[in-house]
Amino acid sequence: MSEGLFRDEVLRARREAWLGTVSLPVPRRGWLLAALGGAALLAIAATLAFGSLHRTVRASGTLQPAEGLQRVQAPEAGVVVRVHVADGATVAAGDPLLDIAVDRDLADGGAPLSARVAEGLEAERTRLRAALQAFDIAQPAREADLQARLATLVDEVGSARDEIALRERQAANAEDVFARLQPLREARIVSEVQVQQYENQALDARAALGAARRAGLEAERRLADGRRSLREQALARATERGTLVQALADLDRGDAENRARGTIRLRAQRPGVVSTSGLSTGSPVAAGEPLLTIVPSDARFVAELWVPAQAVAHLAPGQRVEMRYDAFPHRRYGQQPGEVVSVARAAQPAPAHARTGADPGVPLYRVLVRPDRQDVPGADAALRTDIGVDADLILERQRLYQRLFGDRFARPTVARAD
């Protein structure tokens, strides 16, 4: 089989060369559209993978000092008779704030009850003071009389001791003489009558010594009784005087209680700055009515928010919060960030719902949020107590792919600190 010099492909190509080549031009705009399409697909994929949706709850509350504040209320209904502090004044613990008159008038139209009680107390005080003065005047004379009697008894004891010493010498001499007569008696130099006389003298001397000793003991007993009587009378006089002084003290206490029943003085329980809310002398007040507030000096504020029960389970300390202050419109000053510092474990009691303005039938939990800043950027005014606060609390975050594909990939997570 014979073969040609060239391959069939070469011959075919030479036969078709006169027809030319086909070229398909690719426009440059296509590459740009392809790149944009790819970027869009990547963006959609990244959004589905990393994007999330937040479920939030809106809570409201007020700004309160972190250290707490003292709200002074009227203990009883009455009239303000004196205001000791001005609005904005700084007070220390124990400083007087205001006086409230709560005296009651009687039906007979006479003096008020406290005035009548005070009159009776003053009369009794005058009587007791007169008795105490008379006692103090008579006391020196009584004491001098007792001291004189005691001095007499001391002298009697001294005299008795001197007599005892004398009688002891006499008895000793008489016995000595009687003893020296015994040899003379045996030698019959002296008669029996003379010996008996000297013996009787010795016996008389011994009897006199015994009587002197008994008199001395009696004198010492009277001296001891006198000293005991002096102590007892001194104790009795001290007790009597103490009774008068105690009675006067009881009257002073009763007078103070009577004045307290007529006028109540309220004092500061902690140092701080006073807000009187326009309170003035002569203002009538009702029992339990708020009168003034004491805010701690250099107080750091926290937002006191109230959250419904269905949302509190998703909150925890450390979560981030965006807040809006009523006094600083967020359209101008923006939102103020903060962090949850505590979540109450028990719901607020129903009677306290009036403070939050919420429905008493809805359990509310107290949540404290610490603002990142104690001022508002761009605002000249400082934060103040009871400024209204609205906040959006993030309850949970959910990825977009979880929302699209359900729970097949993962469950939503409760929001935590960033």
What are 193-237's pLDDT values in tens digits? 777 777 787 787 788 888 888 888 888 888 888 788 777 877 887
Cβ-based burial of 115 (10 A; exposed 0-12, middle 13-18, buried ≥19): middle
- The answer to whether residues 63 and 303 touch, using CB atoms and an 8 Å cutoff, is yes
Give the helix/strand (H/E) hosting 51: none
Alpha-carbon span 193 to 46, nearest angstrom: 156
Q: How would residue 106 be classed by pLDDT, with cut points 50, 70 and 90?
A: very low
Q: How confident is the model at residue 26, as a pLDDT?
A: 56
Q: How confident is the model at residue 37, as a pLDDT?
A: 78
- The answer to whether residues 389 and 344 touch, using CB atoms and an 8 Å cutoff, is no
Global pTM reads 0.48
**pLDDT, tens only, 116-172:** 666 777 778 888 888 888 877 877 777 777 777 878 878 888 887 888 888 788 778
- Of the two residues 38 and 303, the one the predictor is more confident about is 303
Question: Phi first, then psi: what are they for 413, rounded to 5°?
Answer: -110, 145
Alpha-carbon span 319 to 393, nearest angstrom: 8
Give the helix/strand (H/E) hosting 272: strand 272-275
291 three-state secondary structure: strand
**pLDDT, tens only, 42-89:** 877 666 565 555 667 788 888 888 888 888 888 877 788 888 888 888
Alpha-carbon span 315 to 365, nearest angstrom: 11
Cβ-based burial of 160 (10 A; exposed 0-12, middle 13-18, buried ≥19): buried
Exposure letters 302-320 (e unless 16+ CB within 10 A, then b)? bbbbbbeeebbebbeeebb
Domains and CATH numbers, the chain: 53-68+299-405 (2.40.30.170), 70-105+264-291 (2.40.50.100), 113-262 (1.10.287.620)
Alpha-carbon span 294 to 310, nearest angstrom: 35
- The answer to whether residues 344 and 317 touch, using CB atoms and an 8 Å cutoff, is no
**pLDDT, tens only, 237-284:** 788 888 888 888 887 777 777 666 667 888 888 888 888 767 788 888
Classify residue 318 as left (phi > 0), alpha (psi -120 to 50) or beta.
Answer: left
What is the average pLDDT across 274-302?
83
| Ordered alpha helix ranges (H), 112-191 | 113-186
- The answer to whether residues 125 and 258 touch, using CB atoms and an 8 Å cutoff, is no
